Amino acid sequence: MRPFNKKPAKSIALASALALGTTLFGAVLPLQADETCQSPYMAKIVGQEDFVYVWTLGIEGLGDGQDKLVTIDVNPKSSNYGKVVHSLSVGGRNEAHHSGFTDDRHYLWAGGLDTNKLFIFDVHSDPAKPKLHKVITDFVEKSGGVVGPHTTYALPGRIMITGLSNNKDHGGRTALVEYTNEGEYVATHWMPTDQNLRGAEKTGKYADGYNYDVRVLPRRNIMLTSSFTGWSNYMMDFGKMLQDKEAMKRFGNTVVLWNLHSKKPKKVFDVPGAPLEIRCAWQPNHNWCVTSTALTSKLHLIYEDENGEWQAKAVADIGDPSKVPLPVDISISSDDSRLWVNTFMDGKTRLFDMTDPHNPKQVYEKKIGRQVNMASSSWDSTRIYYTSSLLANWDKKGEDNEQFFKSYVWDGSKLVEKFAIDFNKEKLGRAHQMRFGAYSLYGAVRPEEREVSVASLEPISK
């Protein structure tokens, strides 16, 4: 197997993104891509993905009850298409949540929000059967008190990890934590607060020190972080929390703009209502990012104005905010013209036209299930996958507690389901975040292709 060369792959990926251009709504290939939600420093899968890795929360009394990385074969040419081909349990329940690749895409880092463990999986040796490479158990100690490792995001030779909480009061004040790809601690970058702005400019009412997601725009030398809530809230029963007036005050209301190179905060923006996932534009003349707010159900744009200053503003409602549909995951398109937005409470996915990012318009919606959380779509824009779980104590109860992985294709006007896997029936657990795998990333081909190649060889004539 030849060494993985990420630079050509990145060049191909970027070229593909630019070549997609401005496809109109209703075209055969809609421009949506989970791969565009990844770090720009990371190689992309630009063709057919072979696998989806689902970071899954264990459920007591269901199967082995452990958190696990579940591998699903999603290549239509495979004899195992639509099936679980591997499941790797990690021991216990850690509140499995988010995961992310290293920049060379050889390793997948996955965090546990409750135990603060970081599980590093080898996904390149055999993409069909990931192996547990390393477990980091001293995250809180090394970071200086950060709790709840959430986003694991690739920088060159580094992994940037967002924390959700701290070990002093289990509230929302927290930091970014930097590691090497090999799993060695580098630095902790604390969020700016009213008491210590750390050199940042406070542009509104809030400097709460909360954190959730991180994304970068290298061409503008910026890094953005959003905000959520601390351990005391995300580990609480959802219904109980909604009735707790003090708990409902403990949610973040900010997005922070950082200097990417120095890792110093520059501006703190008011984005009320717990801004979650951040997605940044890819086109070289589009200097903006977008986030959705869970509690106020709005899309917010963070953008560079004509004077070169960064601003933030609400630009659209998501569903009916008065009903608190609870926006969760979002996925931007390769040409920046579209955005998929999932809402947990009503189980819907919505498609927004982002042609004018200052005035997004909803153009489509579909109910995926009784609850829905994550959306992941292919680089070539023909496939989109959904999972169900938000948090162990926030998922719905009884019949509404559907746990699934669903695969769809977009036919130009609507989503068409291809297959679904019931994670409850298969005794796997709560299906949460997804990441893609492919043999092609590592200079390999699928087993079926290797077998065909060997079988089709003609005898050598003497």
Give pLDDT tens digits for 79-136.
999 999 999 999 999 999 999 999 999 999 999 999 999 999 999 999 999 999 999 9
User: What pLDDT does 448 receive?
Assistant: 78
- Show Cβ contacts of residue 130 under 8 Å, excluding neighbours closer than 6 positions: 53, 69, 71, 86, 88, 108, 121, 122, 123, 437
Centre a 10 Å sphere on the Cβ of residue 138 and count the other Cβ atoms it contains: 11
Based on the structure, what is the number of domains in the chain? 1
- Residue 75: what are its φ and ψ, rounded to 5°? -90, 115
Dihedrals phi, psi of 43, to nearest 5 degrees: -60, 150
Predicted pLDDT at 5: 37
Helix (H) or strand (E) holding 16: helix 6-20
- For residue 55, the model assigns a pLDDT of 98
Q: Give the mean model confidence (pLDDT) for residues 54-61.
A: 98
Provide the b/e sequence for 219-229 (b: ≥16 CB within 10 Å): ebebbbbbbbb
pLDDT score recorded for residue 9: 39
- The residue written with tokens 């796997």 in the block is 428
- Distance (Å, rounded) from C-alpha 211 to C-alpha 174? 6
Quote the CA–CA distance of 280 and 344 in Å, as a whole number.
22
Residue 408 lies in a domain: yes
Nearest to 111 by CA among 437, 433, 438: 433
Give Cα 145 to chain centroid, integer Å: 24
- Using alpha carbons only, give the angle 442, 91, 117 rounded to the nearest 5 degrees: 75
Structure tokens at 227: 């905000």
- Distance, CA of 137 to CA of 148 (rounded, Å): 12
Give the pair of three-digit tokens for residue 65.
């009850």
Q: What mean pLDDT is reported for the chain?
A: 90
Collect all residues with Cβ–Cβ distance below 8 Å to 66 and sequence separation of at least 6.
58, 89, 90, 91, 92, 93, 429
pLDDT at 74 over 60: yes
Q: How far apart are the first and last CA of the chain?
A: 30
Counting every residue written for the chain, the total comes to 462
Q: What local confidence, expressed as pLDDT, does residue 34 receive?
A: 60
> What integer pLDDT is reported at residue 31 of this predicted model?
33
| Burial 389-399, CB ≥16 within 10 A → b, else e | bbbbebbbeee
The closest of 257, 284, 293, 228 to 40, measured between CA atoms, is: 284
Q: Is residue 341 part of a domain?
A: no
Higher pLDDT, 98 or 456: 98
Check if the beta carbon of residue 227 is closer than 8 Å to that of residue 253.
yes
The answer as to whether 188 is a domain residue is no
Average pLDDT score over residue span 300-305 = 98
pLDDT at 451: 61
Measured CA to CA, the distance from residue 226 to residue 214 in angstroms comes to 7
- pLDDT over 50 (residue 14): no
Q: How far is CA 295 from CA 14, 183, 227, 276, 343, in A?
A: 34, 35, 12, 10, 11
Answer whether 315's CB lies under 8 Å from 360's CB.
Answer: yes
Q: How high is the pLDDT of residue 453?
A: 44
Tokens coding 253 = 């209301």
Residue 185 CA to residue 177 CA, distance in Å, equals: 8
Is 6 a residue whose pLDDT tops 60?
Answer: no
Nearest 5°: phi and psi at 438? -155, 140
Tokens 């580990």 found at: 235
The answer to whether 403 and 424 have CB atoms below 8 angstroms apart is yes
**What pLDDT, on a 0 to 100 scale, did the predictor assign at position 381?**
72
pTM assigned to the model: 0.90
Q: Is residue 6 part of a domain?
A: yes
Q: For the chain, what percent of residues have pLDDT higher than 90?
A: 81
Cα–Cα distance between 141 and 163 in angstroms, integer?
Answer: 13
Tokens, residue 359? 């005035």
Cross-strand bridge partners of residue 424: none
Q: Which two tokens stand for residue 99?
A: 């995961």
Distance in angstroms (rounded) separating the CA atoms of residues 210 and 98: 17
- Asked whether residue 29 carries a pLDDT value surpassing 70, the answer given is no
Asked if the structure places residue 286 within a domain, the reply is: no
Give the confidence band of 444 by pLDDT, cuts at 50, 70, 90.
confident
- Residue located via tokens 């994304």: 215
Residue with tokens 């070549």: 19
- At 328-387, the pLDDT tens digits run 999 988 889 999 999 999 999 999 999 999 999 999 999 999 999 999 988 777 889 999
Q: Residue 22 is which amino acid? A: T
- Is residue 438 within 8 Å of 45, Cβ to Cβ? yes
Does 325 score more than 80 pLDDT?
Answer: yes
Give mean pLDDT, residues 230-251. Answer: 97
Strands 264-270 and 201-202, by their bridges, are parallel
**Domain limits for position 37:** 1-128+368-454
Residue 270 has pLDDT above 70, yes or no: yes
Q: Are 35 and 20 in contact (CB under 8 A)?
A: no
Say if 268 falls within a structural domain. no
- Residue 321 structure tokens: 């905010």
Those residues whose C-beta lies under 8 Å from the C-beta of residue 35, and which sit 6 or more positions away, are 13, 44, 45, 46, 378, 379, 436
Show the DSSP H helices in 175-298 as ranges.
Answer: 231-234, 238-242, 245-248
Residue 325 domain-assigned (yes or no): no
Six token digits for residue 23: 């496809």
Residue 13, pLDDT > 60, answer: no
In a domain, 400, yes or no: yes
